[in-house]
């Protein structure tokens, strides 16, 4: 592992095999990386960055490339973010939902058109990091029959608590247009903690030393999800900060790969 945990954000990675478009906005796209095996499970990955325009899908390329090399088809979706026209509530959410519906079918058609190995696109895995982990959990709660499982890496799993903690200097208020008292309907609709049970098998991987998204959010979410009847596991990693869970060079990566194995192949989750 490198000495700078943030180095993964700017590390060169493989180019996507192709990019799909799911809407008219320039950010209505998804980068696709394919493995060299047939019928690979599809992962729809949602990048982090506190939903802000400053961060796009480019920094998730090392993760996507490594997963593809290990037998997963990975579509890294882009979406409108705060600071962009149409970003925030509800545009960010409608973009993720639209991508989750459109990208699997488009991907299947594209690989057939190119004569590439087929991909298993039915009920893909929703995955994401940080704010993207929140969006993966959210989409599973609103479309559980369309999701095969969730892998959430250091997710913002509780928007109300994240607002109270003022994560990233008002990121949640910027996303939803205010606090829980001023825009209660947005929180009721957008907060995964308020939409349990999801009915979708979920594994969360979160570093105990994360000072960007505190692990307490994932602890509380998993406890609440299990009380509601969900199959939810938290894998809490000692000595791991916020970016180790998306870095294939990090010691945390073994736990991340195990989480994907849990939701795609029904393996036993090792966590709380």
**Residue-level pLDDT at 1:** 47
pLDDT of residue 32: 98
Query: Residue 5: its pLDDT value, please?
Result: 86
Beta bridge partners of 149: 125
Q: Per-residue pLDDT for the chain (272 aa), expressed as one digit of tens each? A: 457 888 898 898 999 999 999 999 999 999 999 999 999 999 999 999 999 999 999 999 999 999 999 999 999 999 999 999 999 999 999 999 999 999 999 999 999 999 999 999 999 999 999 999 999 999 999 999 999 999 999 999 999 999 999 999 999 999 999 999 999 999 999 999 999 999 999 999 999 999 999 999 999 999 999 999 999 999 999 999 999 999 999 999 999 999 999 998 766 666 67
Q: Check residue 269 and give its pLDDT.
A: 64
The first and second tokens of residue 4, run together, are 């700078």
pLDDT of residue 3: 72
pTM for the whole structure: 0.96
Q: Is the dihedral of CA 154, 61, 94, 123 positive or negative?
A: negative
Place of tokens 């869970």: 245
End-to-end CA distance of the chain: 26
- For 15, the token pair is 């180019």
Distance of CA 253 to the CA centre of its chain: 15
**Contact indicator for 108, 38 with CB cutoff of 8 Å:** no
Q: Which residues, listed in sequence order, are joined to residue 21 by a DSSP beta bridge?
A: 29
Distance, CA of 167 to CA of 37 (rounded, Å): 41
Kindly report the number of other CB atoms within 10 A of residue 186's CB atom: 21
């Amino acid at each position: 592992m490198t000495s700078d945990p943030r180095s993964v954000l700017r590390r060169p990675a493989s180019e996507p095999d192709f990019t799909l478009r799911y809407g008219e906005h320039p950010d209505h796209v998804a980068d696709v990386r394919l493995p060299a095996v047939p019928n690979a499970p599809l992962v729809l990955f949602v990048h982090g960055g506190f939903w802000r325009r400053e961060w796009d899908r480019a920094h998730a390329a090392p993760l996507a490339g490594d997963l593809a090399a290990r037998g997963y088809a990975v579509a890294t979706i882009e979406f409108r973010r705060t600071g962009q026209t149409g970003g925030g509530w509800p545009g960010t959410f409608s973009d993720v939902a639209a991508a989750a519906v459109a990208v699997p079918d488009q991907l299947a058609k594209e690989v057939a058109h190119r004569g590439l190995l087929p991909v298993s696109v039915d009920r893909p895995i929703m995955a994401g990091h940080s704010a993207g982990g929140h969006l993966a959990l959210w989409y599973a709660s609103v479309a559980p029959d369309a999701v095969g499982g969730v892998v959430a890496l250091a997710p913002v799993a509780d928007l109300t608590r994240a607002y109270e903690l003022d994560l990233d200097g008002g990121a949640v208020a910027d996303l939803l247009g205010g606090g829980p008292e001023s825009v209660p309907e947005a929180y009721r609709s957008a907060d995964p903690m308020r939409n349990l049970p999801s009915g979708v098998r979920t594994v969360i991987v979160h570093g105990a030393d994360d000072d960007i998204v505190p692990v307490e959010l994932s602890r509380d979410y998993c406890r609440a999800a299990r009380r509601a009847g969900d199959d939810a596991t938290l894998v809490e990693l000692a000595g791991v900060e916020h970016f180790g869970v998306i870095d294939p060079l990090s010691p945390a990566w073994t736990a991340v790969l195990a989480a994907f194995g849990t939701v795609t192949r029904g393996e036993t989750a090792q966590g709380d």
